[in-house]
Amino acid sequence: MKSFSRVGKVDEVLRLFRQMKEGPCYPNVLCHNTVLNCLAAANRFHALRAVLEEMYFSGVIPNVSTFNILVKAYSCHSYQFNLAFRVLDEMSSVGCNPDVITYSTLITGLSRAGRIIDIEAVIEMMLDRNCDPNVYTFAPILKAHCERGDVKAAETLIETMRVSNCLQNSLVHNIWIDALCKSGRFDEVELIFKEGTSKGWKPSTISYNTYMNALCKGGKADEAYRALELMMGNGLYPTVVTMSILLDSLCHASKVFEAKKVLDLSFHFDWEVSLVSYNIVMNTLCKIGHWRSVMMLLVDMLKKGVCPNTRTYNIVVHSLCEAKKLMEAEYLVECKGFSADVVTYNTLLNGYCKTGNLSEVNNLYHRMTIMEKIDPDIFTYNILIEIHCKKGKIKDAVDIFGEAHLKGFLPDLVAYSTFIDGCLKNGLLDKGLQLLDRMLEQGLVPNIAVQESFVRAFCKKNSSHVWISVEKLLGRR
């Protein structure tokens, strides 16, 4: 039953439960709790009461775990707090006293719902019943204060927790560090780190990651690297998250070669480097046009056993296309182990479109749709329409336009703009006007490029309806 519950197969849990009841091995309280927990996880709250009533009827005595499951379902999952408080009363009536987990669970739900006043009542209830709050009682309240931006209330609660000896825990400190970072109070965060050891608390990797992320976002990359040194000095090693934070910061600051050095150092120090880390650096190198560095990183990651994904290859293909290395990009796509998608082919198609190589565009489109069975998207059709219009093959462009429409792709402003410009440059003014009407019916507003194309075409035509058409066009702007 627990195994089926873990994978969310509620019906299988219930089937086994019924099977037990029909046989000699009648379900005990643990079996009933498993059913309750499974139903709660599946949001089948209406069935919880029936299972509890069945326990009473069968003589199975509920325990604290039974009621804690119900409190969690009603407070944290469904926000039915009236039912959650009713469970507390019911516990007392059957001689089962709520414990700190019961109250902490209820407080977690109230905190998420922002019901701070009700939390105070629950705390008083705990103290009246000689049940002392612990760190898991206070943590959700602190988080609620921080999320609401009520720093004063959070500071008061921190002091209460200090008096109650509940501050020797990373969970609470991480919540408070995150709040301070969001407020830009970095000096106070540094003080927390310095005082941590003397006050019985040791920062975790999450603590440092939170701090470094805030520093990087605030443009304080140098301070972030000092925090990294402090982190490693305390015996903690960077994780994938740490690496991503640092690399993202360097790349945004256009310090891509420093980012590459971080990747190199990562293997020297045996840090864990993810595929995401490589993709971050490669994407930035691609944006600034360093295609050779992108290729070197691809080779480097392959040597070090980091397996590229489609995103990686798309970055490389885009980088090669931007450098006009189209044959190299196409060769890469043809390599075994490369999993191309529509983005890959759109990148290649766009590269050949810019060079005006219609035959290669058609070959790639055939390979994409027929051999690779990859469906085109609206960007694919825009590229095809553009290249055919450039080559004066308006009839073919019309067919492509129609094919896109049949496949459910409504042409966007780019498609209309490209197609209209192609028609007008080839002297097909009437066809251009038809497309304009269709464009306006679709609710698209002509951009300045469309307007200028029509003005030039009308002036060349020198017909009587020129200015009426121009006024109509500009009036739609």
Calculate ∠ Cα 434-440-444, nearest 5°.
130
The answer to which of 23-37, 158-172, 294-308 has the lowest mean pLDDT is: 158-172
Residue 49 in any domain: the answer is no
| pLDDT over 60 (residue 147) | yes
Residue 9 in any domain: the answer is no
Q: How far is CA 25 from CA 17, 20, 38, 89, in A?
A: 10, 6, 20, 32
User: Looking at residues 136-144, what average pLDDT do you find?
Assistant: 89
- Nearest of 208, 79, 441 to residue 71 by alpha carbon: 79
Residue 445 in any domain: the answer is yes
- Cα separation, 25 vs 28, in Å, equals 9
Per the structure block, which two tokens stand in for 373? 């069975």
Confidence (pLDDT) at 477: 44
What is the residue range of 438's domain?
Answer: 376-477
Confidence (pLDDT) at 195: 77
Quickly tell me which residue has 């410009």 as its tokens. Answer: 421
DSSP state of 443: T
Residue 256 in any domain: the answer is no
The answer to which of 205-214, 266-275, 314-323 has the lowest mean pLDDT is: 266-275
Confidence (pLDDT) at 220: 84
CATH number at residue 413: 1.25.40.10
Residue 50 in any domain: the answer is no
From 183, 216, 236, give the residue that closes a domain.
Answer: 236
Phi, psi of 466 (to 5 degrees): -55, -55
| pLDDT over 90 (residue 71) | yes
- Cα separation, 404 vs 339, in Å, equals 25
Burial of 428 (0-12, 13-18, 19+ CB in 10 A): middle
From 187, 202, 236, give the residue that closes a domain.
Answer: 236
pLDDT single digits (tens) 446-477: 878 788 888 887 777 665 555 555 555 555 54
Residue 31 in any domain: the answer is no
Residue 462 in any domain: the answer is yes
DSSP annotation string for 28-91: -HHHHHHHHHHHHHTT-GGGHHHHHHHHHHHTPPP-HHHHHHHHHIIIIIS--HHHHHHHHHHH
From 236, 267, 286, give the residue that closes a domain.
Answer: 236
Phi, psi of 30 (to 5 degrees): -65, -40
- Cα separation, 411 vs 205, in Å, equals 49
Phi, psi of 226 (to 5 degrees): -70, -35
Per the structure block, which two tokens stand in for 220? 């304080």
Into how many domains does the chain fold?
2
Residue 143 in any domain: the answer is no
Band of the pLDDT at 336, cuts 50, 70, 90? confident
Confidence (pLDDT) at 94: 86
383 and 422 Cβ atoms separated by less than 8 Å = no
Which of the pair, 275 or 240, is modelled with greater confidence? Answer: 275
- Cα separation, 64 vs 429, in Å, equals 80
Confidence (pLDDT) at 466: 55
| pLDDT over 70 (residue 197) | no
